[in-house]
Chains A and B, each alone.
Chain A
Amino acid sequence: MLLDIRKLTIDFPPSRKRKAVRALEDVSLRLEAGESVSIVGESGSGKTTLIRCISGHVTPTSGSVSLFGVDIARAAGRRLVDLRRRCGVVSQDPYGSLPPTLTVLEAVMEPWILVRGREERQAGERTARALLEELGIGREEILSSRVRLSLSGGQRQRVAIARSLVLEPELLLCDEPTSMQDASTRGDILRILQRRQEAGMSMIFVTHDLFLARKAASRGLVLYRGEAVEEGFCRDFLASPQHPYTKALVAALPKLSSSGTYAGESDGR
């Protein structure tokens, strides 16, 4: 089993700024190799904490998280690094995900060279170029320009995705990878991720958008205030939501198609 999370609870102790917070309560999730799941949640739902726990940056207060068969809470040093190398992380903000001083090509190659060593540089460059080409960034002047200077938000996110895919991870953790992107980029990014999934990569896709969740994975988990309130297939969340929160989410979701399919209140009166 790729990922086995059982009754995970995470408390953050009180600090000067806030009281104690229970970020996650009793969350369970199982993922086989090649499977993907969408996690639907808004801010405060604990979704980011969940991702950070899977990547080993946050320790569970109780419950267990087993990644590639290893208990993440007990892994340390070399073992933890080896586990992390098999995961990729795509975060929401593309501005913090890329080192500003490197060129685009170097930024994508960096994880490869770090892990495989300088001798494998040529192979790393080939892989990086192929990835960037696939993501629609092929022009030489972009590849050799510094990250800091010339990329738009959409381009940055693509480069960030390339950087996270260069080590061919078995599991990709995506935290709202498209929320800061325009509609046109969103579709492209989803397609690229889907291609990887078809090739066997597992993915955990966190989003607040039910439509995106459904596109990203067939299975889903709805998080609300740290608890898993609904679990099942994403299309069922949309078609027949059970929990009141899921219902509220579906009701709030702005649907473009609704503007066209029937004459509602917005028909130009």
Chain B
Amino acid sequence: MISIRNLSITYGRMTSRGRSGETRAVKNLSLSVEKGKLFALAGESGSGKSSVLMAIPGLLPEGTRVSGEILLDGRNLTALSEEELNALRWRRIALIPQGAMNSFTPVLTVGRHLEEVLDVHLGLSKRSARERTDELLGMAGLDASLASRYPHELSGGQKQRAAIALALACDPDWLLCDEPTTALDVITQKGIVDTLKSLVETKGVGMLLVSHDLPLAASVCSRLFIMKEGALVEEGTPREIVVHPKNPHSAALVNALLELEREE
């Protein structure tokens, strides 16, 4: 269980002469998520949702002020040292950052990417690494033959799945996904979120998915959190939020979206 309590994140605005002002990206946010379920964090751009996600494995930029607690099974992550956090990253908490699909090294094949992670983090031999690579690609919905392809030879959806496979390398308890479907076609998007959902169901990982696409998030999650301007404005099951939104901001958002879907 990951429990976030009173989390506040403040970025310094960097200019050429150093800090010149601050932006409060997240204001006093509290939420909890459990393993075995898919949670979604939705909100418009600039609402702070990515910041929340990056705060969990401690990957916020230098000079960011973080206050509050992030408890992983009772252990406060914000109080851990870099070495302790490093031990957790990739092994217990895996992150798929925004734009991961464009962040592959162009000179390595997909298979080599996976083997490298397996070697560094798990110390697997070449043969076991290759077997595990095939296994991981399968879990992400990719054919094993893609291991010998280079990133530029893959489509957008395939690259995103490769990023998912990478994140699964060390069999983590938690998967954090930041906007895994932006810039992808609608049909591909559905495929990706379906794969993510099946991972939750079959492997029992806990997943926190961040997206600005509220209908997409609502269609796959068990519980939905909506953020606006750094604060959590609504939480509940998708059904609750759509039928009875409590907060005026989320109500306005839901109505705008429903109006699009309604026939005139």
Contact = CB atoms under 8 A, between A and B. Distances in A.
Interface residues of A, number: 32
B80 interface: no
B143 interface: no
Contacts of B190: 251-252, 254
Interface of B: 44-45, 156, 185-187, 189-190, 212-216, 218-223, 236-243, 252-254, 256-264
12 contacts: A43-B156, A183-B214, A183-B253, A184-B44, A186-B260, A211-B261, A235-B263, A252-B187, A254-B219, A255-B219, A263-B239, A268-B240
A256 B187 contact: no
A256 B258 contact: yes
A259 B242 contact: yes
State the main secondary structure of chain A at its contact with B: helix
Interface in A37-56: 42-43
A266 B261 contact: no
Contacts of A187: 256, 259-260
Given A187-B256, A260-B238, A252 B222 contact: no
A74 interface: no
Nearest to B264: A215
Interface string A105-134: 000000000000000000000000000000
Contact of B243 (A208, A260, A268, A269): A260
Nearest to A184: B256
State the main secondary structure of chain B at its contact with A: helix
B170 to A, nearest CB: 28
B222 A182 contact: no
Given A259-B238, A260-B238, 4 more contacts: A183-B44, A254-B213, A260-B243, A266-B218
Contact of B263 (A214, A251, A254, A255): A214
Given A252-B187, A266-B237, A184 B218 contact: no
B257 A183 contact: yes
B187 A42 contact: yes
B123 to A, nearest CB: 38
Contact of B237 (A186, A249, A251, A267): A267
Most buried by B among A252, A253, A256: A256
A42 to B, nearest CB: 4
B153 to A, nearest CB: 12
Most buried by A among B212, B223, B239, B263: B239
A172 B261 CA distance: 24
A133 B156 CA distance: 39
B185 A211 contact: no
Contacts of B216: 254
Contacts of A209: 186
Nearest to A187: B256
Nearest to B47: A182
Nearest to B45: A182
A158 to B, nearest CB: 15
A39 to B, nearest CB: 15
Contact of B186 (A183, A249, A266): A249
A211 B186 contact: no
B187 A266 contact: no
B41 to A, nearest CB: 15
Interface string A233-269: 0010000000000001101111111111001001111
